[in-house]
Chains A and B, each alone.
Chain A
Amino acid sequence: MSMSMSLGLVADSFLALLILGLAVWTIAVRGTYAAVVGFVAYGLLVALVWVRLAAVDVALTEAALGSGLMGLLLLRAAACLPRDAAVPASGRVGRVALRVVVGVLCAGLTAVLAAVVLQLPEPAPSLAAAAAQVLPTTGLGNPVTGVLIAYRAIDTLLEAVVLVLALIGLWSLAADGAWGGRPGALRTREPGAALVLLAQLLPPVGILVGIHLFWTGANHPGGAFQGGAVLAAMWAIVLVAGLAAAPRVDGRRLRLVLVVGPALFFAIGLAGIWWADAFLGYPADWAKPLILVIEAALTLSIAAALGLLLAGPPAAEPGPGPVVGAAGQLSWKEQSSTDEHR
């Protein structure tokens, strides 16, 4: 026991140092791509830290969102910037001074936080026991889901609305003339054969894993956000490989998918005023099925919203039908008629 404890301590210290070093490097490095790659690696390490803290729910989220989707988003953003844009010589002294000032402030903040955190009460006051104690009334087995969908349902509900607003904000960056068209950021000109193969084989498996994550979330680590993120990632791969085109942003069906999660959440929450005497309350016997219905709808909406956030604002159409790479055409004869449904 003691040996595995000390091994754990070694692992934790090692991880901590590694993460700090990588974080510093990621901030300090000049190249945009290099920094993004550093960020992706950083996300992976942070996911490991969450595992060490026995917070697998958070680790799943970090791995899917922090490292996976954010990596794609940042790499696409880096691709839009001029590579390693030269800093004009005149501004460099000022920039360096600014960096030093910011660095000193951040270091100071970190020192204060560290000092303060070390003085926090021991054992830490926590609601974990209370959350676990009343969990049976919700029929759930995973207290994290209990917090997200029952005790603090309002936060989750409003976050789901935030996601819709973020998407509207992204779409607002489109040119007026391109409105209603298809998002274009994930179009690739010539996806190679390997990429197309990946996009043909991986998504069905990803769908299973995504639904599994949502479904298992009731009792084990997982949930709507993690499941939705995996589904969004699969969609993004299909888009990158040119096997389907992103949907038009003015499609009614797409909009419906985007709002069904929060809308259903609201509807069941409001019904709670009658059947449970409180907004966002659940009747005793029906709590679990209702929660699962909400989570299912949320998974769908989150997947669509995240996928569309990756796909960027609507852009001018390159031409009819999807962009098909040289390797994909054999298997893809009927595509142009099917992508309307995606």
Chain B
Amino acid sequence: MTEFLLGAALFVLGTVALGLIRILRGPDDADRMLAAQLLGTGGVAVLLLLGVASGLGAVGDLALMLALLAAFASVAFVTGVARPDPPKPVRDPNALPRGDRS
């Protein structure tokens, strides 16, 4: 079973690594972000497989942490992209999003 799980981990790793071609090719930065995202999810799977195969319980914690932070990079990516004039702090109160606070 151990060999199978290791093999599966290797296969998943190889698969998501194949996705890294998207990082090379782009064409958009968002496409590259997708490849990194795939690596994140795949990485969680690889860690779970490795953790069970090797009996290292702490690897499960690592997988949990990666899953917890899986959306982190994309969120950062989007907030960076979404703001065209980032260095200037928003001064005008009218520039606030108009959330109708009830």
Asked if the two chains touch in their complex, CB atoms less than 8 Å apart, one says yes
| Chain A interface residues (CB < 8 Å from chain B) | 3-4, 7-8, 10-11, 14-15, 18, 22, 25, 31, 33-34, 37-38, 40-41, 44-45, 47-48, 51, 54, 56, 59-60, 63-64, 67-68, 71-72, 75-76, 78-80, 178, 184, 186-191, 195, 198, 202, 205-206, 209, 212-213, 216, 220-222, 226, 230, 233, 236-237, 240, 315-319, 323-330, 332-333
| Chain B interface residues (CB < 8 Å from chain A) | 2-3, 6-7, 9-10, 13-14, 17, 20, 23-24, 26, 29, 32-33, 35-36, 39-40, 43, 46-47, 50, 53, 56-59, 61-62, 64-66, 68-69, 71-73, 75-83, 86-87, 89-93, 95-102
- List B contacts of A54 (CB < 8 A): 56
Contact A48 B43 (CB under 8 A): yes
- List A contacts of B100 (CB < 8 A): 329
- List B contacts of A78 (CB < 8 A): 80
A38 to B3: give the CA distance in the assembly, Å: 31
**24 cross-chain CB contacts under 8 A:** A4-B2, A7-B3, A7-B6, A7-B7, A14-B13, A33-B81, A41-B36, A44-B39, A48-B46, A51-B50, A51-B62, A64-B69, A76-B80, A186-B79, A189-B96, A220-B57, A230-B69, A237-B72, A315-B89, A319-B96, A324-B97, A326-B98, A329-B101, A333-B101
Contact A79 B13 (CB under 8 A): no
Given A38-B32, A56-B62, 12 new contacts (CB under 8 A): A8-B6, A31-B29, A33-B32, A37-B32, A40-B73, A56-B59, A76-B76, A80-B87, A189-B90, A202-B68, A316-B91, A318-B90
Closest B residue by C-beta to A52: B50
A202 to B68: give the CA distance in the assembly, Å: 8
Contact B20 A18 (CB under 8 A): yes
A53 to B27: give the CA distance in the assembly, Å: 35
Report which of A11, A47, A67, A327 forms a contact with B73, defined as CB distance below 8 A.
A67
Closest A residue by C-beta to B40: A44
Q: Tell me the minimal C-beta distance from A124 to chain B in angstroms.
A: 22
Q: Tell me the minimal C-beta distance from B8 to chain A in angstroms.
A: 10
- List A contacts of B35 (CB < 8 A): 37, 41
A268 to B23: give the CA distance in the assembly, Å: 49
- List B contacts of A315 (CB < 8 A): 89
Q: Indicate whether A60 sits within 8 Å of B73 (C-beta atoms), given known contacts A14-B13, A329-B101, A330-B102.
A: no
